[in-house]
Amino acid sequence: MGDSDRDRTGVLIVRVWTESDESRGLRARITRSVDILAPDETVSTASSVDEVLASVRSWLEEFIDRLQ
């Protein structure tokens, strides 16, 4: 069975917290992989809801693009 014959699984983990200085607000660490069998893992950070959502959208689009 080749790579194209197997199901692929991706993973995205979002860890969110607030800083003690409330003016800084939301913080997030995003760890993502489009294929858990591959050693590729990307870690990024975000400081707003829009940045977190953009990262999730980007990960989903990359996952779908690799299916084609």
pLDDT block averages, 10 residues each, the chain of length 68: 66 93 82 91 95 97 88
CB of 49 closer than 8 Å to CB of 57? no
CB of 55 closer than 8 Å to CB of 44? yes
pLDDT of residue 52: 97
Give Cα separations from 15 to 36, 65, 67 (angstroms): 18, 25, 27
Domain holding 46, by residue range, is 3-65
Query: For the chain, how many structural domains are there in total?
Result: 1
CA distance 63 to 22: 35
pLDDT of residue 1: 41
pTM over 0.85: no
CA distance 36 to 8: 8
